[in-house]
Structure 1
Amino acid sequence: VYDNKSYTFAYKQVEGRISMSDKQLTLNAVEVLTAGPAKIKSTLKLLGEIKLNADKSVQIVSRVGGIVEKVSVNAGDNVRKGQVLATVSSQTIADIRSDLLAAQKRVGLARTTYEREKQLWEEKISAQQDYLQAQNDLQEAEINLSRVQQKLGALGAGTSGTGQARYDIRSPIDGVVTLKKVSQGQVISDIDSLFEVSDLSTVWAEMTIYAKDINTVKSGQQVTVKAAAFDANAVGKIAYVSSLVGEQSRTAMARVVLNNPNKTWLPGLPVNIELTSSEADVPLAVSIEGIQSLNEETVVFGRYGSYFEARPIKLGRKDDKYAEVLEGLNAGEKYAAGNSYLIKADIGKAGASHEH
């Protein structure tokens, strides 16, 4: 009898019971909790992989064909918006810049002619028709110049440069060079993808969902993403669940957008993803830390006065914090939780000395 309640010890005294004072509890940092109700979360564990955020990744092409004169960056380099990634020698650019020079000279010549004809007309020396023709020629020359300038602008080439044929390929965003498929001397066309630059401040964690779990996974659910290769985890929400199941794999895909300010989550990294699929209130539960195995039975160590007694229990549902107790322990009973393995070790020592 303890605390006006009767308990039946499951083991002989030496076998499953040990004395430990409150002072010893403190020294050994053994945590004592009270068995009672708890919320048990049902979690779904899924496998996933970190992927580039495709919304923040850019495939970079040269807008003109030519020969690569210089490559200024490598895969893995950080780049800023507008930074030169490579330089190309392009006949197309050379031709357009030649057109530009000719158009600029034509405008200069047309302006000189216009100003002269205007003065002659104002002085009543020449006919108005000659003045209007000169005005029209100037306007046409200016339109042609503007057209050539716009053509260069559309290609991302400056209207002036150190070389007539030189064309700089620049990064359109701040980010990291995640793919480089070009080298010096290479002949390229205007459709070749040369670089991929990605903003890694956010990444996607994509998970595979099996058919039986598809109805469990919903957009907006909170998930925990854990790295498989090292100790790192992050919390995010499901942003997208695919509406199609693969014909071969019979799986669907869901995606979480993760903030990645320290570049912890690198594309290609395998991850484990946990989400809470349901939550249940149970009348009696104990901490997972308090559950031990003794003589091939699942036990917790109940606290009765200065003694700990091994109590065989039958468990029901459990999560990473609590386990439901179906038999073997009453609500309100105290038990060892944190560092309960020390009590198991002491009982083991006591049993060994008794056998001798």
Structure 2
Amino acid sequence: MNTPRSWMRAAAVALMLSLGAACGAGNGAEGEDAAATADYERGPHRGRMLRDGEFAIEMTIFEDGVPPEFHIYAYRNDQPVDPREVQLSVALTRLGGAVDQFQFAPEADYLKGAGVVTEPHSFDVAVRAVYDGATHEWAYDSYEGRTTIGAAQAEAAGIRVEAAGPATLEETIALSGRVELQPQGRAEITAWYPGRIVGMNRAIGERVRRGETLASVTSSESLQTYAIPSPIAGVVMARNANVGDVAGAAPIYVIADAAQVHAEFYVYPRDAERLRADQPVVVRSLSGEHSVRAEIEAILPTADMMTQTIVAHVDLPNADGAWRPGQAVEGAAVVSRYEAPLAVRTRALQRFRDFTVVFARVGETYEVRMLELGRQTPEWTEVLSGLAPGEVYVSDNAFLIRADIEKSGASHDH
């Protein structure tokens, strides 16, 4: 859970990273658009021109209504070359070392790559072309959504990572209620026979043991004095009489055992049909300091006439006294479970261009991963594609990575 202090620290480190990058302090984020204005020539189709003497090719990625694919144009002395006269291959080396190989075939006035150029379009490119008996080779880098942050900076910023893997997704229903004593956790101490109270042994707030004498009463009928023991262990919550008073039917003491408590949740009709006894519930204090996973003990069969809510009881272990009777609590009742083969923390998800993404880490380099998502809960989100099992991704403070990439001007451009 991020505290205000941790958010302030993270924001301060983000500012430090931005200033460091502006001064050339080791930030490795790059974008094709940035490179376009500084590093390479654009061709007639707005692609990257690669020249070797009289021969040149223009690299483009076409994605208008189709999955991204290479369309590469050949030129000699800046005049179009018949694509059937060129043999071409391209290798894309991605962060982490994976290599995508592409072979090409002529189509219309260009060479079309066999296969999809998967996102992100961030890689080191090696190109080999054979034309008119001569071989031409080029190599360049084309990065997007990538940045480098030193380990010490990442640690100071609270950037945390974990490996993507299977997870149990739980659909929950939000509940609200309060902590109440269980019936067996409360005892009203009354005189067995009417008479005068001759001894009162405990004050409000004092602890008592089961069987300990709380009061002594002299019976009005027999004139014999008898002791009244406590039927439970607990704390004196109320003392309603003093020595010399006449004891009748009213309680002399009220004893409460705070270890025997449960949560009473008020459930609306639209949710009640999905709740059952024995379903798991995560109970949390409103401050978030205390939480426990318990089970629905019982669902009462009657509804409140005014609100139409029903009451669900959840037994709370309370040996340490963390749960106080009358305390407001919130809960999340688990109504279904799904085993996802691959999932990431929901809090790790960010927006990048038109995609929902996470940021993978390799060494000190972070790079965007565009995801196809499945089911989602507040804790976990299923990943259908875009991330490999075991791949390390940023699970906490991923917004800092996104901000660093956006600040650098990285974009998607071909």
TM-score, normalised on structure 2? 0.56
Amino acid at match of 1:75: I
Contact kept, 8 Å, 2:350 with 2:356, in 1: the verdict is: yes
Amino acid at match of 1:81: R
Structure 1 pair 182–313 and aligned structure 2 pair: CA distance change class (3 A): farther
Identity %: 30
Structure whose residues are more often strand by fraction: 2
Aligned match of 1:186: 245
Q: CA deviation at 1:218?
A: 1.0
| In 1, Cα distance between equivalents of 2:118 and 2:168 | 27
Structure 1 pair 241–350 and aligned structure 2 pair: CA distance change class (3 A): same
Structure 1 pair 170–15 and aligned structure 2 pair: CA distance change class (3 A): same
Structure 1 pair 24–173 and aligned structure 2 pair: CA distance change class (3 A): closer
1:169 equivalent among 228, 238, 256: 228
Say yes or no: does 1:66 pair with 2:124.
no
Contact kept, 8 Å, 1:10 with 1:310, in 2: the verdict is: no
Q: Which has the larger radius of gyration?
A: 1
Contact kept, 8 Å, 1:287 with 1:337, in 2: the verdict is: yes
Aligned match of 1:80: 209
Alignment map for 1:77-226 (pairs within 5 Å): 77-94=206-223, 97=224, 166-189=225-248, 191-226=249-284
1:4 equivalent among 99, 122, 128: 99
Specify the SS of the correspondent of 1:268.
Answer: coil
Specify the SS of the correspondent of 1:193.
Answer: coil
Contact kept, 8 Å, 1:18 with 1:308, in 2: the verdict is: yes
Structure 1 pair 23–316 and aligned structure 2 pair: CA distance change class (3 A): same
Say yes or no: does 1:256 pair with 2:351.
no
Contact kept, 8 Å, 2:194 with 2:247, in 1: the verdict is: yes
CA RMSD of aligned residues (A): 3.7
What do the CA deviations read for 1:222-277 (whole angstroms, capped 9, x no partner)?
A: 22222224511222222211112222221111112222222222211111222211
2:170 equivalent among 41, 50, 54: 41
Structure 1 pair 169–38 and aligned structure 2 pair: CA distance change class (3 A): closer
Structure 1 pair 84–281 and aligned structure 2 pair: CA distance change class (3 A): closer
Q: CA deviation at 1:61?
A: 0.8
| In 1, Cα distance between equivalents of 2:208 and 2:165 | 57
Amino acid at match of 2:177: G
Q: CA deviation at 1:303?
A: 4.7
Contact kept, 8 Å, 2:120 with 2:144, in 1: the verdict is: no
Q: Which runs of 5 or more structure 1 residues have no equivalent in the other structure?
A: 98-165
Amino acid at match of 1:257: D
What do the CA deviations read for 1:119-162 (whole angstroms, capped 9, x no partner)?
A: xxxxxxxxxxxxxxxxxxxxxxxxxxxxxxxxxxxxxxxxxxxx
| In 2, Cα distance between equivalents of 1:214 and 1:228 | 22
Contact kept, 8 Å, 1:79 with 1:171, in 2: the verdict is: yes
| In 1, Cα distance between equivalents of 2:307 and 2:220 | 49
Contact kept, 8 Å, 2:181 with 2:261, in 1: the verdict is: yes
Amino acid at match of 2:246: V
Structure 1 pair 180–249 and aligned structure 2 pair: CA distance change class (3 A): farther
| In 1, Cα distance between equivalents of 2:150 and 2:295 | 47
Say yes or no: does 1:269 pair with 2:354.
no
Q: CA deviation at 1:341?
A: 4.1
Aligned match of 2:22: none
Length, aligned pairs only: 279
| In 2, Cα distance between equivalents of 1:305 and 1:63 | 77
Structure whose residues are more often helix by fraction: 1
| In 2, Cα distance between equivalents of 1:341 and 1:206 | 38
Specify the SS of the correspondent of 1:213.
Answer: helix
2:337 equivalent among 267, 279, 292: 279
What do the CA deviations read for 1:270-318 (whole angstroms, capped 9, x no partner)?
A: 1122221112345663222422356898542245786433456575532
Structure 1 pair 183–228 and aligned structure 2 pair: CA distance change class (3 A): farther
Specify the SS of the correspondent of 1:76.
Answer: coil
Q: Which runs of 5 or more structure 2 residues have no equivalent in the other structure?
A: 1-91, 101-116, 123-141
| In 2, Cα distance between equivalents of 1:188 and 1:326 | 72
Contact kept, 8 Å, 1:81 with 1:171, in 2: the verdict is: yes
Aligned match of 2:51: none
Amino acid at match of 1:174: A
Higher relative contact order (CA 8 A, sep 6+): 1
